[in-house]
Amino acid sequence: MTGLPQPAIFAGYDAGAYTLPEDLVHARETHRKVHAQPYPAPPERPGAVIERLSHEVVAAVHDGKELPDLTQIEAARVAEQTHQDAVDIMAACEVLAAERVTRALRDHGMAIITDHLKPAHEETWTGFKAAWRTLQEYGKTEPRHLLAAPVKVRKASDTCDQLVERYIHITGARTALTILGFNCPDDPRGKYSAIRNYHELSPSRLAMGRPPWHGLSTRQFLGWHAENGGQLWLPTPDEQKEAVWVEAEVNPIKRAVGF
């Protein structure tokens, strides 16, 4: 069986995290319907038919009855080949349906970024910063410290959790598109794939250097950037490349020590 290509892209769509082009959704539905078709049950094998008929012939001779119809053997061979043909066709159909999805992903990849993921990302980041600000004003941000907090604060924390899940879906879909070729060779370490002002927040260029947000959960990662001026974004490959070279132009040496 051929699975759905890049399922992470569709997981976010199904969760309502973002929209997708109609053609792509239709291609996914075609794959889903083809994949859902039940495989035909295998018929009785010719060898099993021969063995069964051998016993029936002996029994008929012993009892003096009419011999069984031996054309059942040829019918079993035809049925076996027909079954195999059906299995082969269904497998080929799944491959073709999956290829149709992959083709749609490549055809619409850039539009998925600019028209679907990017607006969802901006909305998510804006909403998270507003909810996080409420937690900052309260003085505590970790859920375990908010059990006795006012309703407004607990609601803001729940909003953060919901937007974290949405953010994970959005960035997961963007990563899946990277696998399909929508990547930025100028940024091999992906420093600008999520953070526009990466080196403003983490100036170190050491190969083993770790940014301040290293090891944080997604919620904490978003909270850290909300508090420290992180410019989270979802760039196209060209936008990501531009960010890399703007930084490199400021200090060309940086290009040689770890971009």
At 205 the pLDDT is 64
Helix axis angle for 71-111 and 22-36, nearest 10°, is 160
Domain membership flag for residue 75: yes
- Looking at the predicted structure, is the pLDDT value of residue 257 above 50? no
- Domain boundary among the residues 80, 101, 122 is at 101
How many H-runs (helices) and E-runs (strands) does the chain carry?
Answer: 10, 0
Helix (H, G, I), strand (E, B) or coil at 160: helix
Domain membership flag for residue 97: yes
At 32 the pLDDT is 95
Token pair recorded at residue 140: 């505590």
Domain membership flag for residue 37: yes
Q: What's the mean pLDDT in 146-167?
A: 96
- Contacts of residue 164, Cβ cutoff 8 Å, sequence gap at least 6: 128, 218, 219, 222
Domain membership flag for residue 239: yes
Helix (H, G, I), strand (E, B) or coil at 118: helix
Q: What Cα–Cα distance (Å) separates residue 160 from each residue in 19, 38, 182? A: 21, 42, 29
pLDDT tier at 206, thresholds 50, 70, 90: low
Domain membership flag for residue 22: yes
At 189 the pLDDT is 87
At 102 the pLDDT is 97
At 248 the pLDDT is 73
Closest CA to 201 of 186, 216, 179: 216
Domain membership flag for residue 135: no
Tens of pLDDT, residue by residue over 23-64, are 999 999 999 999 999 988 999 999 999 999 999 999 999 999
Compute the mean pLDDT over every residue in the chain, rounded to the nearest whole number.
Answer: 93
Domain membership flag for residue 151: no
- Domain boundary among the residues 73, 101, 129 is at 101
Domain membership flag for residue 208: yes
Tens of pLDDT, residue by residue over 69-117, are 999 999 999 999 999 999 999 999 999 999 999 999 999 999 999 999 9
- Domain boundary among the residues 44, 74, 101 is at 101
> Which domain does 245 fall in, by range?
183-259
CA atoms within 13 A on the CB side of 94: 16
Candidate from 118-132, 194-208, 229-243 with smallest mean pLDDT: 194-208
Number of compact structural domains in the chain: 2
Candidate from 178-182, 205-209, 221-225 with smallest mean pLDDT: 205-209
- Contacts of residue 186, Cβ cutoff 8 Å, sequence gap at least 6: 240, 241, 244, 245, 259
Distance separating alpha carbons of residues 1 and 132, to the nearest angstrom: 45
At 204 the pLDDT is 73
